[in-house]
Chain A
Amino acid sequence: MSAGRPVRRWLTGVGFLLPNIAGFCAFTLAPLVMSFALAFSNWDILRHNLFRKDAIRFVGLGNFSRLFSDLQFWRDLGNTLFFLLGLPFAIAGSLAAALLLAQVNRRRVSTGSALVVATVVLVFSGLVLLSGGMAQRGVVFLFGTMAAAVLVSGVLTGGTLYRTLFYIPHFTAGVATFVLWKKLYNPHTGPINAALRPLLDGFSSAVCAWPGFFALGVPALAGCAMVLLALVQVRRLRRRWDDGEAGAAAVAAGILALAGPAMVFLHWHGMGTGIAGGLAGTVGVALFGAIVRRPRRWGPIPTNDAGLGSELSLALIGVPLLLLLAGAIRAGPTLPAIAALGIDPPDWLGDYAWAKPALMLMALWAAIGSNSMILFLAGLSNIPPELYEAADMDGASAGQRFWNITWPQLAPVTFFIAVMGVINGLQGGFEMARTMTLGGPAGSTTTLSYFIFTEGFEIGRLGYASAVAWVMFALVLVFTLLNFRFGNRDAND
């Protein structure tokens, strides 16, 4: 820029900035301030508008206090938080995708072996086609051919195709994707159930052939897995406590992650909620006491909340897994009877129990190849190779390299992704539910953002809707602060 008088330069600068500032003020700042004011008013679009100018009254905290007795609000908040449970899986998926893509970039897969794999897949698909006929096995053939095509193309393009494929969901228009998934989820004609049906038929046949194994063996295996996981968790908590990596709060969170599913398990097996809770709680407290009374072996004594973020993150993955195992124990004995009647694939979007997981699964698909994956890829490329070389010289295994180098080095990226994921998760869900389920069945997929839309624009209570929006903002803030408080220790290290 040419040098001129300071005032003129300042005016030029402001001139360039003005359109943006004006736009921000008009479309962001003003609505924000206005919605804050509205949250304390009784503004109802039906009574306060261009044609009907009833006085808008200040109602203080009335809208907020109403929230507490509004069953719909609590149900929709519960749905929103439930959808948030998919976040750890989305982060894990993005990281796994980034790691795989980084591997493809680092070491090009041998063209010859890849082609062999692709050929095998194609031949197998062809055999399936021949044995069953196109009509019955068409979907299987389609998937097989597509997988082979992706594999071959990936080999030929050296991973560029994979990166593009993974990223496609992110830049595809949301509504188009939702409509596509709606077709995929179609219980009778969708390809997902078409692919599941032969698998479930095979599973039913297997259950009918070995009813004893499935009725007793599966629950026994699931039970063993539960016990094993519990032992691993207790041992891990004890070691982290001994090493000074975990404080009392972290140990408590880790124990709670075990006690919660245990309580549910006991309740499912006929125990009253109180007794089940008491029993699981007593064992949990005993375990907690046994761990935190142990003397520490190393270094300075950590604060109580040290390591809490890691424990909470692990709990988000561990608790659903334990519940799944508990479910297997419960369902096992009834499997032969169910299989005798035939197991139908889920009614994904029409069944109350399946609608939420179906939407989560779709969101997971979109999240794995999103910006998170790009950020992880960038983070991976920034890890100094000397660290891996040093680990190799020390004889570290692949797992040790990941846990001791990759994961800690990616901590700042993971933290950022987690924060953004929580914010987007709490605010999102509207387009998805509106397009795919209209919030149903029976409100099972209505999120807070959908609730705000309904209250504001279908019923017209803009004051109340604004209050809900600000409560949502408060939730985002609290979650973000918690993330900053407990989640970024490794990042700062």
Chain B
Amino acid sequence: MKRFFLISVLVLTAASAALYWTRPENRGTATVLYWMTQNDPVKRETVALFRQWLVDQGLPPVDVIIDHSNQDVTKKLVQGVSGVGGDLIDLYFCELETMQSTGMLADLTDEAPAAGYAASTTYPAIVSDFTVQGRQYGYPRNVDMTMCWVNRDTFARFAQPEPPRQWSWDEFEERGRRFVAAANPPGTRQRIYYLNRVWPPVLRRGLGLTTFNETGTRCTLDDPRNAEVFRRVRRWTVDEHLLPTVADQASMLADGTAYDSSFGLFAAGRFAMIYEGLWALIRLRPLGEFKLGAVEPFTGGFKNMEIASGAVAVYAGSKHPGAARQFIRFLASEPFNLLVARSGDSMPPLPEFGRHEAFLHPPGFEGDWETKAAFARAGTTIGLAQSKSPFVLPSVVLKIDTDMLQTVIAGRLSPEDAAKEEAERINGEIALTISQDAALRREYERRLEVQRRIEARRAAGEGVPAAWIRDPFHLAYYRAQGWLEKTEGAP
């Protein structure tokens, strides 16, 4: 027994030593950075290109290791606040504010202009995706817009008309009903759906409503327009079966998550359309040859579309902050932007490359040209950033919104009650935040005063200065309605 114990200890010690000495950091002299991101061909190519770019710039070598097993937001958060986060952290939808509020993201504001990656170098609409209250915490590696991808072969197969470039939600419902009836013979189980999902914020904006008021001080979803959105989505899902339920999606899966499976199902003709970003091209290209198209999201009136970016931030606890910042510099370089342009991973972060031939007409992908042009056109005309409030985390808002929509679809609450409860819960979160954070409380009081003034002006039928409005949707909507003051000024 003693011998066995001793041998076990020796084997474990030897294994630990071997593990330590074979770590990437100990294998060579190059600095090693860990990048918490997805492991896809574009990311792998990015890493190789970065290495080459460093050589071209005469900079010391840096190895970037893609850490895709820790890209879940919970892991990023817990590892980050514990001091063991990755050197480079990808920030997706809703994650910036969560990470930034912990202090785990390095503030790049002061060095960004000199290093060439200032916020002003990219699209103004996505600045809020990597800045918080004027401070810069990263840089976009792509700019994405979400539209309805159309599998034209599927429409042709069932002899159904393709959707128009711009359409209303009534048209969506009418065309969808006809399509589903044609694609699914009577008496058989439904296998083919019109669209994979919808995005309620876009539908709400179509009715002139968004999650927060102009200053982000209150959730405004306790509104008949939000109830109408809930009612429609339920009808499309439960009554008309234009969209699959969660269970329908699950039943169509062989493997992976419902989200991942959408691309395969779209290629196979099980979804006539999918509501995804331009980055979907990365997933769709390997799935074979089929005719693609893209149309703008349908709404109940005000045309709008979601625009967002995937940003990369530097971990404040990184052991190699200099090398990590070089990577951010690389994101604003020509080689990287050309890579994004030709890869299909959304639009390059530098606007001039969005007009580049490599983006609009990538050789070898002639089938994508029309689609890319549609995305670029819509992005510059109706693209709007997400509505956020500094007083509640976007991830919490998303969770509540999803919960309420599911509750309506399950028939547990009426759309009106769900809208009321949603606003109550989000406003409860705002109240909780300002009760616990003195600095935010002061900011809240300040914005509340501005909000009162906005409402007073609106009530009096007067224009409102654009500088008073923090929410990107409200700003666009006010502009479209002619509610902005001619001469703008700060309060």
Which residues of A line the B interface, CB within 8 A?
A: 42, 44-47, 49-52, 71, 182, 186-190, 347-352, 440-444, 454, 457-460
Contacts and interface: CB of A to CB of B under 8 A. Distances in A.
B88 interface: no
Given A49-B102, A442-B406, A443-B407, A457 B250 contact: no
Given A188-B189, A349-B250, A45 B102 contact: yes
Given A352-B412, A442-B406, A459 B250 contact: no
Contact of B436 (A44, A52, A441): A44
- Which one of A347, A444, A460 has the highest number of Cβ atoms from chain B below 10 Å of its Cβ? A460
Given A352-B410, A441-B406, A442-B406, A45 B77 contact: yes
A79 to B, nearest CB: 13
A189 B406 CA distance: 23
Contacts of B411: 352
Nearest to A457: B74
Contacts of B247: 187, 347-351
A391 B411 CA distance: 56
A457 B410 CA distance: 27
Q: Is the interface of A mostly helix, strand, loop or mixed?
A: loop
Contacts, number: 92
Given A50-B81, A50-B317, A457-B77, A188 B251 contact: yes
Interface residues of B, number: 37
B407 A186 contact: no
A413 to B, nearest CB: 35
Contacts of A52: 101-103
Given A45-B102, A51-B103, A51-B104, A186 B251 contact: yes
Contact of B396 (A47, A190, A459): A459
Interface in B98-150: 98, 101-104
B395 interface: yes
A452 to B, nearest CB: 13
A46 B395 CA distance: 13
Nearest to A182: B250
A51 B317 contact: yes
Given A189-B251, A349-B250, A442 B102 contact: no
Nearest to A350: B247
B436 A42 contact: yes
A184 B245 CA distance: 18
Given A350-B246, A350-B248, A459 B78 contact: no
A441 B407 CA distance: 7
Contacts of A458: 73-74, 395, 399
Interface in B43-92: 73-74, 77-78, 81-83
Given A51-B316, A459-B396, A46 B101 contact: yes
B186 to A, nearest CB: 13
B270 to A, nearest CB: 12
A46 B250 contact: no
Contact of A442 (B103, B252, B412, B436): B412
Interface string B410-433: 111000000001000100000000
A444 B403 CA distance: 10
23 contacts: A46-B101, A46-B102, A47-B436, A47-B437, A49-B81, A50-B82, A51-B102, A71-B425, A182-B250, A187-B248, A188-B251, A189-B251, A347-B245, A348-B247, A350-B245, A350-B246, A351-B410, A440-B246, A441-B246, A441-B406, A441-B409, A458-B399, A460-B98
A388 to B, nearest CB: 45
A45 B83 CA distance: 13
A186 B255 CA distance: 13
B233 interface: no
Nearest to A66: B432
A50 B83 contact: yes
Contacts of A351: 247, 410
Interface in B232-274: 245-248, 250-252
Given A44-B436, A349-B247, A441-B410, A460 B77 contact: yes
B317 A47 contact: no
Contacts of A440: 246, 406
B454 interface: no
B393 interface: yes
Q: Which of A49, A190, A442 has the most CB of B within 10 A?
A: A442
Contacts of B403: 442-443
Interface string B189-212: 100000000000000000000000
Identify the interface centre among A50, A190, A347, A454: most chain B CB within 10 Å of its CB. A50
Query: A-B pairs with the 3 shortest C-beta distances?
Result: A350-B247, A51-B103, A52-B103
A353 B5 CA distance: 54
Nearest to B190: A188
A400 B316 CA distance: 73
A52 B437 CA distance: 13
Contacts of B395: 458-459
A49 B410 CA distance: 39
A61 to B, nearest CB: 16
Given A187-B247, A352-B411, A454-B399, 13 more contacts: A49-B81, A51-B81, A52-B103, A186-B250, A188-B189, A347-B245, A347-B247, A349-B250, A350-B250, A352-B410, A442-B403, A443-B403, A458-B73
A443 B411 CA distance: 13
B412 A49 contact: no
A442 B317 contact: no
In the complex, which of the residues A47, A51, A189, A458 has the most CB atoms of chain B within 10 Å of its own CB atom?
A: A51
Contacts of B74: 457-458
Contact of B78 (A51, A349, A457): A457
Contacts of A187: 247-248, 250-251
A345 B101 CA distance: 47
Interface in B391-411: 393, 395-396, 399, 403, 406-407, 409-411
B233 to A, nearest CB: 13
B103 A49 contact: yes
Contacts of B102: 45-47, 49, 51-52, 460
Q: Which of B189, B250, B396 is packed against the most chain A CB atoms within 10 Å?
A: B250
Contacts of A188: 189, 248, 251-252
Contacts of A454: 399
Nearest to B191: A188
B400 to A, nearest CB: 10
A348 B248 CA distance: 11
A189 B409 CA distance: 23
B365 to A, nearest CB: 35
B308 to A, nearest CB: 20
Nearest to A45: B81
A459 B393 contact: yes
Nearest to B407: A442
Contacts of A459: 393, 395-396
A42 B101 CA distance: 15
A213 to B, nearest CB: 27
Contacts of A441: 246, 406, 409-410
A190 B250 CA distance: 11
Contacts of A349: 247, 250
Q: Identify the interface centre among B98, B247, B395: most chain A CB within 10 Å of its CB.
A: B247
Contacts of A45: 77-78, 81, 102
Contacts of B316: 51
A50 B78 CA distance: 11
Contacts of B101: 46-47, 52
A324 to B, nearest CB: 22
A444 B410 contact: yes
Interface in B408-466: 409-412, 421, 425, 436-437
B285 to A, nearest CB: 28
